[in-house]
Amino acid sequence: MYENILTKEELIGRKVRIDRCTDPTLISISGLVVDETKNTFMIEIKNKKKMIAKNIATFEFEYKGKKVLINGSRLIYRPEDRTKKAR
């Protein structure tokens, strides 16, 4: 329910946690989304920035007090286009 809403929201500035990922070293890391491109998130983790490809992970965001999981492949749009086109 909230997944469809959150895919169209601004994600920069939101806390995020990687729930699943093809790279096991990234699972469960969390931080703040500080930048976004069509294919990646830049996440600040303990004062270091890490670029994470969207298509390799499932991301957990919080929305209205609920944990919302979003497959990164649903977010592969330029940020300005995603807010209009995300399915």
Give me the residues of the chain with pLDDT under 50, please: none
The predicted structure's pLDDT at residue 86:
53
The encoded tokens of residue 74 equal 């649903």
Which CATH number characterizes residue 15's domain? 2.30.30.210
Cβ atoms within 10 Å, residue 57: 24
Q: How many domains does the chain have?
A: 1
- Under 8 Å CB-to-CB from 21, ≥6 apart: which residues? 27, 56, 57, 58
Predicted TM-score (pTM) of this structure: 0.89
The predicted structure's pLDDT at residue 6:
85
The predicted structure's pLDDT at residue 25:
95
The predicted structure's pLDDT at residue 21:
97
For residue 61, the enclosing domain spans 2-85
